Structure 1
Amino acid sequence: MTDLKLIALDDEDLQVISAHVQDAVVRVGDMGFARSDRRFALLMNRFDWESDKPRAKGLRKRAALHFDSVQAVKSTGFDTNAHDGVLELLAITFMPTDGPAGIVELSFAGGGAVRLSVECLEARFADLGAAWAAKQKPQHALD
């Protein structure tokens, strides 16, 4: 079982990270903006879609993701003070605004979102080594 380490410097790179973190479970208290460092970071329990040892329900892995050059953070659709609240990450997208600057959006099930205003897209993702059997495999209705 290989641990992933990925960097995103453009939209195409970010789409790869987004695919790997689809259906990750994130505790609200495990997300934060370090304003002085201009970094937004989050810890997650991601579903291991690429596992080379598939099990009936699959695996989850502890992972970290952070974005640099963050100027501002806005959230909607969930209570940022509910630190034990749990969100399901569906996708991460980048919308350019001016030159390399843009908006990174983390979209969660139920309509919640975190929007990061960034000077440029720079994200780093890494598995942290821990893995365990998932309680269930994420399922999505096909529309």
Structure 2
Amino acid sequence: MTDARFEDGRDGPVNLGALDGDDLLVLSALTQDAVFPATEMKWDRKTGRFALLLNRFRWEEGARRAASPERVQSLLSFDLVSQVATNGIDRKDPGTVLSLLSISFEPTEAPAGHVLLTLAGDGAIRLTVEALEATLKDVTKPYVAPSGKAPDHPA
């Protein structure tokens, strides 16, 4: 038996959930370098849902991404959110575009904890959750990345 590879998957929209830290690492990898305007960040306090409408880079495309890099709009949502805190984000400027670098989970009293969304430029979003329940779902067809390039992280 071998591990699954991106190359073995079918070319279709992502629709994944995360219920623990290991699951969340997969969502983090798929959303690395996603960009979104600050206005596409919503928290419904009544239902406890926090959501971001992202333009995520399609990392799952593997080697094909170099020839024709693509992005897709995706909805990243978290349920059971009791508190949202931000740092380094100017939410008053509707033109602010944020770039997501990683997502991590820091447990407190199981199953509760904090979800940390780390942004480029020292920004961060911290969600206090009763338990980890996250979903990532592509909501549009892929489109050619406007820059025509894959994100680059030189060492």
TM-score range, shorter chain: over 0.9
- The amino acid across from 2:72 in the alignment is K
Runs of 4+, deviation exceeding 2 Å: 52-57
Q: Which residue of 1 aligns with 2:128?
A: 117
1:78 aligns with 2:85: no
Percent of counterpart pairs with the same letter?
44
1:117-143 C-alpha deviation (Å, 9 max, x unpaired): 00000001101132111112100022x
- TM norm structure 2: 0.88
1:137 aligns with 2:147: no
> d(CA) in 1 for partners of 2:154 and 2:54?
23
Give 1 or 2 for the bigger CA radius of gyration. Answer: 2
Q: CA RMSD in A?
A: 1.2
> d(CA) in 1 for partners of 2:39 and 2:68?
27
Question: Which residues of structure 1 form unaligned runs of 5+?
Answer: none
> d(CA) in 2 for partners of 1:98 and 1:115?
16
> d(CA) in 2 for partners of 1:120 and 1:55?
37
> d(CA) in 2 for partners of 1:78 and 1:8?
26
- The amino acid across from 2:116 in the alignment is E
How many residues in Structure 1 have an aligned counterpart in Structure 2?
142
- TM norm structure 1: 0.95
Question: Which residues of structure 2 form unaligned runs of 5+?
Answer: 1-10
| Contact map agreement 2:65 2:150 (CA 8 A) in 1 | no
